[in-house]
Amino acid sequence: MRRCVVTVLQVLLAGAFAAALFAQFIVIPRTAADQVALFPPYESVRVPLVTAAIVFVACLQVALVTLWALLRRAGKGTVFEHSALTWANVTIGAILAAAVVLAGLFVYVTFADIPSPWDGMEVIGLWLGSAVGTVAAIGVALLLFVGRHLLRKAIALRSEMDEVI
């Protein structure tokens, strides 16, 4: 893989990681505090929702780090080694953990009595968004699983080629 492409992708991943850190420590807590200030009954659901959001972002950060490692291997030409499968497994695990967080949020929103300042559409939106997000995360994890399977086959073929040569 061309070095300039790897460098650009690494810069993008680093930017995404920095943005996620900013979201975890600044945006999510401040937004929650602002919403509670605007509508005090939200205080009862503030901690669970903020915790779910921060853990979800942490799962995505783990996936970004593993993608960085795989990209680094691709740049060095060492992606077709068995140790690359570990990074692929961690990526899949991080995405599945994010799906579990979203599924937990879906269950929480389904059964919690979340107050609404208007007609309840924001609660329905959170409920629907967590459901769709869960399905999407599972879909991404399945795609990564297929990619991992293809990587495993490519590693096996590479090993066979090395034995022949």
Task: Give residue limits of the domains in the chain.
Answer: 3-164
Q: Greatest CA span in the chain, whole angstroms?
A: 71
Percent over 70 (pLDDT), the chain: 99
- List pLDDT tens digits, range 126-153: 999 999 999 999 999 999 999 999 999 9
What are the b/e assignments for 44-80, b being 16+ CB within 10 Å?
Answer: ebeeebbebbebbbbbbbbbbbbbbbbbebbbeeebb
Supply 7's token pair. Answer: 């460098």
Instruction: Report the distance separating Cα 144 and Cα 146, nearest Å.
Output: 5
pLDDT grade for 163, boundaries at 50, 70 and 90: confident
Residue pointed to by tokens 């593993």: 66
Residue pointed to by tokens 């600044």: 26
Please indicate whether residue 28 or residue 75 has the higher confidence score (pLDDT): 28
